[in-house]
Amino acid sequence: SQAFVNDTLSLQQVFRNRANCLEYVNKLPALLYAKGFIASSVDSTASDSLETNIRLYIGESMAWTRIRTDSADKRLLDAISWNPKSIQGRPVNFRQFELVKLKMLNYLENNGYPFAAISLDSVQVQPGGLEGHLVVDEGPLYRIDSIRNQGTAKISNNFLQHYLGIRNTTIYKKERLMSVSKKLTELPYVREQQPWNMTMLGTGSILNLYLVPKKSSQVNVLLGLLPANEQTLNNKLLVTGEANINLKNALGNGETIGLNWQQIQVKSPRLDLVFTQPYLFNSPFGVDLKFDLFKKDSSFINILAQAGVQYSVSSNQTGSIFIQNLRTNLLTVDTNRVKNTRTLPQEADVNSVNVGFNYQFFNTDYRFNPRSGNELEFLATAGTKTIRKNNVIIKLSDKNFDFNNLYDTFKLKSYQFRVNIKAAHYFRLTRSSTLKTAINGGWFQ
């Protein structure tokens, strides 16, 4: 009936031209076969300039009685959630089988079997339906023996193994190979001269990379002379300036070496040092060191020292724990002001020690200029803050006042906690526009 043709078979009946119609007719047996009509056939066709009439034999719709899976490993069946009961008594649908076959092949290709083959064999008509045999030929277990950089970039092979997640002799994983180029674009100091390829050997392969250096390091130095005045020592010329050094992968291990020096105001230098090294000693652990110094003429000096250990879960997910020490020392004290006002200076001798945890994650399409994806950073610290009594102040003498009492109104030792979270999501709007939504929140006590 027409309803059977339209609803059950869902056959197309209107075409743009005669060629499209005949092409569809030739595909009909395969289409019906996928719907379970395995005996279907096109017995005859008759065409003129306006229409094509066909005599179509449908036959009965067959159902599965069972599919034997004795040649398939249980881990493979579990990985795709294979359930024999889900097909027993159901109409034969070979398109559905192709999807199952694709899931199996994807699993095998990501678990060391790139040459696997899967087929449905020994399909027989039994009372009540069809019976088939799922044949799985995994092929040999295949490995990636090593990574070779055929380009001119100076970069550690151990770094590449950890960063790409492909260690020497690791089993073949198609998904990781497909992400190689994307991961390499997120390194600021190298680029691919040509796409990677594989050298296929007997039981393993070599991943060939073609990396060349990309300019990313910065060295900027600006020096000047400040004319002599009453603030300069012995009325001599004072050298002022700024230096910014940011070296990426200078030693070939993916490290960052940073130095920032400023001497703009008289006797007020600022110095920032940074050193990060991932995958230390061929491990997923790295080191993160920071040192900041700021001296305000002869008033005070701030010194920050931080040492941390990083753990790289993957190239886009890292965590670290660190210890941080911030120390402020008064260099000179205006004792006359303290005596006259009987108040402490605006700055104090303070020492803070904190232990912290930092977590970063991103899955954006491009790290440096994202158009889609997510970013997340979480920071938490806890520690103590200690106000130290200044010896110059507490030794001041006044028969009517004990300057040691100035510290009584302060809590000399306290605990401090801080939590900060940053998150962003990028929405791709058009080929050249992106919408960014972000949140930046924190809590401090």
Residue 35 above 80 pLDDT? Answer: no
Could you tell me the two tokens for 356? 């912290």
Q: Which of 223, 224, 155 is nearest to 190 (CA)?
A: 155
In this structure, are residues 274 and 258 in contact, taking their beta carbons and an 8 Å threshold? yes
- Average pLDDT of the chain is 87
What confidence score (pLDDT) does residue 327 get? 95
Residues 277-300 have a mean pLDDT of 93
264: confidence class by pLDDT, cuts 50, 70, 90 = confident
Residues 183-209 have a mean pLDDT of 92
Q: Rounded CA gap, 386 and 350, in Å?
A: 6
What confidence score (pLDDT) does residue 166 get? 93
Q: β-strand 143-149 against 190-192: which pairing, if any?
A: unpaired
304: confidence class by pLDDT, cuts 50, 70, 90 = very high
Domain with CATH 3.10.20.310 in the chain: 64-137, 143-213
Report pTM.
0.77
Q: Which of 94-98, 136-140, 222-226 has the lowest mean pLDDT?
A: 94-98
Number of H-type helices and E-type strands within the chain: 9, 22
Packing angle, helices 94-109 and 18-34, rounded to 10: 80
Residues near 155 by beta carbon (within 8 Å), at least 6 away in sequence: 149, 189, 190, 211, 249, 252, 253, 254
What confidence score (pLDDT) does residue 3 get? 59
232: confidence class by pLDDT, cuts 50, 70, 90 = low
What confidence score (pLDDT) does residue 7 get? 59
Q: Where are the beta strands (DSSP E) in 210-249?
A: 211-213, 218-226, 238-248
Length of the chain in terms of residues written? 445
Instruction: Summarize pLDDT for 242-259 with one digit per residue, the tens.
Output: 999 999 999 999 999 999
Q: Let me know the angle formed at the C-alpha of 392 by 391 and 394, rounded to the nearest 5 degrees.
A: 65
Q: Rounded CA gap, 65 and 353, in Å?
A: 71
**Phi, psi of 359, rounded to the nearest 5 degrees:** -130, 135
Residue 423 above 80 pLDDT? Answer: yes
Between 1 and 120, the more confident residue is: 120
Q: Which of 185, 150, 142 is nearest to 166 (CA)?
A: 142
Q: Is the dihedral angle over the CA atoms 404, 410, 415, 417 positive or is it negative?
A: negative
Q: Which of 118, 119, 120, 133 is nearest to 69 (CA)?
A: 133
> For the chain, how big is the Rg over CA atoms in Å?
36
Instruction: Summarize pLDDT for 357-397 with one digit per residue, the tens.
Output: 999 999 998 888 899 999 999 999 999 999 999 888 888 88
Q: Which of 361, 359, 293 is nearest to 331 (CA)?
A: 293
CATH fold group of domain 64-137: Ubiquitin-like (UB roll) (3.10.20)
CATH fold group of domain 143-213: Ubiquitin-like (UB roll) (3.10.20)
